[in-house]
A and B are shown apart, each in its own frame.
Chain A
């Protein structure tokens, strides 16, 4: 029985190799910008992640942006972090999202608010990402809220649970490395249907992590989508390496960008190579292409990686 009526789940069911994208909501009520970004991604990705105030910077909410994107014919993956909302607010949003036909929810812990533009704010972390997955699964499959109450308006009414496909993230590059596959196993046990990884630059470490994933048979229980982000410049590569916690960018890529006449083009070439390598790894069920503020490059990248046209349902 399907978990949702979504395209993403159906493509997995049919055995397709999926491509997901990412769309960062604007720091204003710029609806046109959302539509423009969605336009670049339409037809190039099967679903698009809508980030939830990423890096703790206030933006249009993931819920509202997801609705706008959906209106453009793209299937959203609404992200929910545990940083800003407690279990009451989150469950309310899950029901609201499902009511609006949002089929996919990605469960995240969330970046600490110290990284963002409101570092003096209080955080919530009432529940963690694994508890969030379990909570949404129980809402969907058992029709109950976190408190145990049934999701219905009265004892005589039908239980009307949110039918959503549940996603989670994995960072194979965080420490302790040996715990990373345990974290994944816990997310699978909690009820994750698909996983999107942190952007991969260290292919060797990713391959090692995937080996651990296969050893535990986790790739058979959950769809693993490998994350990539094209490097736009040497500066960005160094920033990713030095300033983003748990991110490893090998020197070989930085050398290539340094030597290239056009670093941006070289970054895209590297990204395409990576996508092709990732397709070959057993247990990788798709690519999550996070072209940050580079949505207009997505079509070319997906095309050159041999992943266009996207399948229809």
Chain B
């Protein structure tokens, strides 16, 4: 999933108080799972904003609404579009994709980000999420026993651990596992250590962000291709 964290309340409140009527728009997919921007968080933020505005004597009306996904046009149904149009501004609790897509669907809407989008990660345990993929556009997992050095090594090293790997931890922070320790252990278990002795050439980064903003065009599934 795409993970996110709630922005500090004061930041969001500052966005909200610029307007008279604000819609807090939750997203029912990734940010719901990582407890940053789903229906529950939208309800809480709405209450907090309303309460704070009342305390400050600020004239602010806050409404809350959550849709299944803010990155898909089909979920912006008529009721949702009306709520957005009725509000002076939207605080979207979706990831950065949802915030922008909301504007693409309704170009006249003022949409603020209510969360900070973080990374592609997994839920490790309740309340703990961890990065697993960097979206490099050319998956190398097979070569490393299913563990990603591009996303999970602080230096994206493809040829083994740097000198800073110590007791299985990364030099950057002891909360970070050295992915090369994990790759080594797993490849050893799989009897594939010899593969790690092969030198990996410099990576072609064009499939990632370095090739410029990306898009995927599947002609076989576009509506024009399937009349």
Contacts and interface: CB of A to CB of B under 8 A. Distances in A.
A246 B163 contact: yes
Contacts, number: 100
Interface string B139-174: 000000000000000111111111111111001110
Interface SS of chain B:
loop
Interface string B20-38: 0000000000000000000
B152 to A, nearest CB: 13
Contact of A128 (B154, B159, B173, B184): B159
Interface stretch (B84-92, B123-131, B194-202, B217-225): B194-202
Nearest to B181: A176
B75 interface: no
B159 A186 contact: yes
| Chain A residues touching B, range | 35 or more
Given A112-B171, A126-B202, A174 B163 contact: yes
Contact of A190 (B161, B196, B199): B199
Given A109-B155, A112-B155, A128-B157, A185 B197 contact: yes
Nearest to A176: B184
Contacts of B161: 174-176, 179, 183
A281 interface: no
Given A135-B202, A146-B202, A174 B197 contact: no
A112 B164 contact: yes
A129 B202 CA distance: 10
Interface in A149-198: 169, 171, 173-176, 178-179, 182-183, 185-186, 189-190, 198
A123 B173 CA distance: 16
Nearest to B149: A128
B102 interface: no
Nearest to A179: B184
Contacts of B165: 174-176, 245-246
A-B pairs with the 10 shortest C-beta distances? A171-B163, A245-B171, A245-B164, A130-B159, A131-B202, A174-B163, A109-B162, A128-B157, A125-B155, A127-B202
8 contacts: A111-B164, A112-B154, A127-B202, A128-B156, A130-B200, A131-B159, A135-B202, A175-B178
Given A174-B162, A179-B196, A245-B164, 18 more contacts: A83-B155, A109-B163, A112-B164, A128-B157, A129-B162, A131-B158, A131-B199, A131-B200, A131-B202, A173-B163, A174-B163, A175-B166, A175-B168, A182-B196, A186-B160, A190-B199, A245-B171, A246-B165
